[in-house]
A and B are shown apart, each in its own frame.
Chain A
Amino acid sequence: NAGVTQTPKFRVLKTGQSMTLLCAQDMNHEYMYWYRQDPGMGLRLIHYSVGEGTTAKGEVPDGYNVSRLKKQNFLLGLESAAPSQTSVYFCASTQGIEQYFGPGTRLTVT
């Protein structure tokens, strides 16, 4: 039982490049979330999903897109990366209350 996994663990992008972060969970959870963590700002919700095929905007959605084609996977896309998107990205999932987090992806945009 791997829980929540994220790929890749690290990535460096140049401004304007695109990439997709993959989150996978094997707990059959309905709800999945993408957060970004920045120093002094806690974790801020980017997008979330309450079930397969659904997505919704969180607190800081601009510059990101998401898809939930399969229940176990939640993808976060950056179409045109900007230095302001340099951050650590965490995926989480839950079936109701406790959110289980992945190990994070550290993204640097130069």
Chain B
Amino acid sequence: QQQVKQSPQSLIVQKGGISIINCAYENTAFDYFPWYQQFPGKGPALLIAIRPDVSEKKEGRFTISFNKSAKQFSLHIMDSQPGDSATYFCATSEANQGGKLIFGQGTELSVKP
């Protein structure tokens, strides 16, 4: 059973455009929602994360929007750059569960110059 559903599977954006990746979850006990970025041949690295007590978090060109009632959260990349081309994973975790992360299926982003 997929606890976290991520879409789209792949995304092509022009340089300077906005990239949007969406995730939906089922378990209302989840209380931590990170996004990880992975470049080819590398391990994932934390990009930005949010807790459910806020609806939005912004760090530079990266923004997480969180909709608790809809059980959805999304990553927005403003002014997308070719260097942003990577695979992005959303994830969730529940308190007191050993820090385990449940990942979405991943989105392969390609930013064209």
Contact = CB atoms under 8 A, between A and B. Distances in A.
B43 A58 contact: no
Contacts, number: 59
B81 interface: no
Interface string B39-51: 0011111100100
Interface string B57-97: 00000000000000000000000000000000100000000
A43 B45 contact: no
A44 B103 contact: yes
A97 interface: yes
Contacts of B106: 40, 42
Q: How large is the interface on A (under 10, 10 to 19, 20 to 34, 35 or more residues)?
A: 20 to 34
A109 to B, nearest CB: 20
B30 interface: no
B46 to A, nearest CB: 5
B19 interface: no
18 contacts: A4-B43, A31-B98, A33-B99, A33-B101, A40-B9, A40-B106, A41-B105, A42-B89, A42-B103, A42-B104, A43-B89, A45-B100, A59-B102, A97-B99, A98-B34, A98-B49, A103-B42, A104-B41
Interface of A: 4, 31, 33, 35, 40-45, 48, 50, 56, 58-59, 90, 92, 94, 96-104
